[in-house]
Chain A
Amino acid sequence: MCLAVPGKIVSIESEGGITRCGRVEFEGVVREVNLSCVPESAPGDYVLVHAGVAIGRLDEGEAKRTLALLRELIESAREGGHEAS
């Protein structure tokens, strides 16, 4: 139910408050998505789409940081450390 899928904004089709919408690409499939809850989003941005509506933008920098933390966690285990977090 709370499934939200990341997709990349291809184009903004219409501006205007609660009907703001754009075309969003999900792994090769492009669908129209309501973008009124992400008013500052622009083509190239990744958004989280829940039942046809974008509920948030994905932060590229934070994603990189999370992946780096995950790798660090594994590396520290290989080195026998126990304090990575």
Chain B
Amino acid sequence: MRHLSEYRDASLLRGLVARLQGATHRPYRIMEVCGGQTNTIVRYGLDQCLAPHVTLLHGPGCPVCVTPASYLDAARQLAMRPEVVLCSFGDMLRVPGSEGTLLDCKSAGADVRTLYSPLDALKLARSLPDKQVVFFSIGFETTAPLTALAVLQAAEASQPNFSVLCAHVTIPPAIFVILQSAEVQIDALLAPGHVCTVTGTQEYERLSLEFGVPIVVTGFEPADILQGVWSAIRCLEDARAGVIMQYSRAVTPEGNLQAQRLIQRVLTVTDREWRGLGVIPSSGLNLSPQFAGYDACRRFALRLESGSEPGGYCARVLRGNLAPCDCPKFLKECTAEHPLGAPMVSSEGACAAYMQYSRSMHPFGDLGGA
């Protein structure tokens, strides 16, 4: 078992699609809150395989997209300091802040680098003792333990030239805001599988109970998504809520306790601004006071200023209120070459996925003729 190709098997997918076609006669709207799942859905054309009255909505599941301009502006300020090497995940370099991107800083001579992991930033700091290496750390609960791990390793080694611009956010408070606002009718949710690998499912039980909405903890392969949608529809047909576990090979109800301990030890919960959603109480993670010495904002006396948020349409896309293809700017003023907003920049942004796969899309996308 490779835990990958089994869930991409064309005959399996064909069978599942046939099953889903007749699964319900009612109109249902199901939201996923994970850019990886959005990508799979659009890449394999899964949304087009369902009965026409079943709609998949894309929520704020791309951490690059929801990171507010204020953090990008702070990262740009840091990058322009001569002693700083500013590192982050690749897509962060191309997302616009209030006045430009980190790549613009690089063009202006700043040392800005793409790294694969916060642990690589710590390695870089060891190899550049005369520089200050700052990792611009974004991501959901999947990524937060990695930042915690890097900071803890730095603290144990008393690494003096490593720090973190910490912009982590957590998913359940954002789901709460979206369900509470009722701006978008959502009948069921697919919960992000890898976030739940770390956190477990307790918070989702609470959300399901409070809003009476079924939540299916779902994986990332096409068969996972189709099974997740099937489970959601079954619950809705039976008028049941609760948390259903589709991704049981990777998620347990209690989650990864070791990773949770790392988060609790190094990070602390705070209110945080999200692009498209505003400030959400208790939705962010900062370095805890014990590790404040590794906080780039503190080390460089930076204040995070709330920036102007470009693109009102982007905000609606992030809330699931506007499908990328219904945005008046999509593929007109806003393209991969000239993105107007984060959802078009990030590889996990809904607009980028629509742009990349929609044009030549047929069911099962790049499985080809499946």
Binding site for B on A (CB under 8 A): 1-4, 6, 18-19, 27, 34, 36-39, 46, 48, 50-53, 55-56, 58-60, 62-67, 69-71, 73-74, 77-78, 82, 85
Contacts and interface: CB of A to CB of B under 8 A. Distances in A.
Shortest beta-carbon contacts, A-B, top 4: A74-B15, A6-B3, A52-B117, A51-B117
Interface residues of B, number: 57
Contacts of A69: 227
* Central interface residue in A2, A65, A70, A71, by most chain B CB within 10 Å: A2
A55 B142 contact: yes
Contacts, number: 139
Interface string B26-65: 0000000011100000000000000000000000001110
Contact of A1 (B1, B36, B119, B152): B36
A3 B36 contact: yes
Contacts of B231: 85
Interface in B233-260: 234, 246, 248-251, 256, 258-259
A6 to B, nearest CB: 4
B2 A6 contact: yes
Interface of B: 1-4, 6, 12, 15-16, 18-19, 22, 34-36, 62-64, 89, 91, 116-120, 138-140, 142-143, 145-146, 149, 152-153, 156, 192, 194-195, 197-198, 220, 223, 227, 230-231, 234, 246, 248-251, 256, 258-259, 262, 346, 348
A60 B1 CA distance: 8
Contacts of A51: 89, 116-119, 143, 146
What DSSP secondary structure best describes chain B's contact surface?
helix
A83 B143 CA distance: 38
A56 B197 contact: yes
A67 B219 CA distance: 13
B314 to A, nearest CB: 17
Contact of B249 (A2, A50, A62): A62
B264 to A, nearest CB: 13
Nearest to A63: B249
B145 A37 contact: yes
5 contacts: A3-B194, A34-B119, A53-B145, A53-B149, A65-B248
Nearest to B198: A55
Given A1-B139, A3-B36, A38-B258, 6 more contacts: A1-B63, A1-B140, A27-B4, A52-B116, A59-B250, A65-B248
Contact of A2 (B4, B116, B120, B142): B142
Nearest to A39: B258
Contacts of A48: 194, 197, 250
Contacts of B142: 1-2, 4, 50, 55
Contacts of B248: 59, 62, 65-66
Contacts of B22: 77, 82
A3 B146 CA distance: 13
B62 A18 contact: no
A6 B250 CA distance: 10
